[in-house]
A and B are shown apart, each in its own frame.
Chain A
């Protein structure tokens, strides 16, 4: 039976479908929190490693891309799949408040944490009231 399935993969119609499927991307879920001097962006990207993660900043557009790198043995067939894609990708427009040179990122257990520091001129400042 496996041979039947395998040979049907060679039909041009299915091959086209496969190409589309290989490009299937998932949107990572994110939290965005404002802190006093930075924005914090937390994204769920399970299965993405340091090597397969790509963070780019171009013209105030921040793009996150990560390939799910699982070492799965050959010859697996899916019984049930909720994650139907090989990669995560998402883009964000950054405001001018963000100091793009000072962005830092960490990836722990498949959670990407980006710290987007605000420019000095945009930080919250508390103004002390002077005693008269």
Chain B
């Protein structure tokens, strides 16, 4: 579903960009070792989707239990706060062990995203499963799409 955004990126303007097409031909996307596919910079990653009656925010925060994430809404800004501990590389006797890769973000994080207008923060709900938080923010009643029946004359 979120792949829909990809459609805009691969739209017609790119068709004229012969150079990037050439590069894409040599280094095709979706390669398992594509370094750009490594999530970088932001933790946790966030997807936002909209349905007719609500806006849903998906927070991909692996390793956080449901009590590890604080979710605040103020003035249509959603703020996510939390902390993820790094994997301990220490031994029982305190000596550290070699670390071969450290790609996972650790430590404290704060992320804030602006929400669309017209959401009812009072009725917001959040769920957590398998490291993904789902925050459901219902639209206010008066902003929901409404069908207008045509009266017979």
Contacts and interface: CB of A to CB of B under 8 A. Distances in A.
B87 A81 contact: no
Q: Give the interface size class of chain B.
A: 35 or more
A84 B49 CA distance: 12
Given A23-B30, A31-B104, A44-B62, A80 B46 contact: yes
Nearest to B28: A20
B100 interface: yes
Interface string B51-83: 110011010111111000000000000000000
Given A23-B30, A26-B37, A36 B132 contact: no
Interface residues of A, number: 51
Interface of B: 1-7, 10, 29-30, 32-34, 37-39, 42, 44-52, 55-56, 58, 60-65, 86-87, 89, 91, 97-105, 113, 116, 130-132, 134
10 contacts: A22-B3, A29-B105, A33-B99, A35-B97, A46-B131, A77-B49, A77-B51, A82-B47, A84-B2, A110-B130
